[in-house]
Amino acid sequence: MVYRVCKSFEIESGHMLSKHPGRCRFPHGHSRRVEVVLVSQTLDANDMVCDFKAIKLAIGELLDAWDHAMALNSDDPRLEAVKGVAGDRVVVFQGEDPTTEALARRIYEHVAHRLASGGVVADEGGVEYRFPESVRVERVRVGETSSSWAEYGVPNVG
């Protein structure tokens, strides 16, 4: 048996899918719901998998960079033109379209790296939050519309 916690976030983001045959190759945006699910077989000294604020701190900078930004494939011929308009609000995906699946994988990898690199995050006041060694990221789900989402994670955790 495992304990499971989920922290949800909402961002507004745009993308262009250069490989798409239809309208998705044009600039468009989504109100995205991001769900990060962590698991542990044990609870910490505070009887938690981890503090929800630790999850927020671990992912906040990444999501802030993506919020109100336009994501494009590095191979998209319109990349420089979009950078000229959007400036630092462009997120470049190297050699792949920024699909919802790719976003979910990137977020998963980001959180997994934060956990693997010591699991300590600090808030703006310097208060440290630690992820116990037993905590693992199980999956990340990213909603694209009210009826569509993509998920990336490890099957059969626990």
pLDDT tens-digit readout, 12-30: 999 999 999 999 999 999 9
Q: Minimal CA–CA distance to 10: which of 113, 112, 127, 141?
A: 141
Phi, psi of 96 (to 5 degrees): -145, 150
Q: Which tokens in the block code for residue 125?
A: 């006041």
Judged against a pLDDT cut of 90, whether residue 96 lies above it is answered with yes
Q: What is the pLDDT of residue 156?
A: 65
Q: What is the pLDDT of residue 118?
A: 85
Structural domains for the chain = 3-21+30-153 (3.30.479.10)
For residue 25, the surrounding DSSP H or E stretch is none
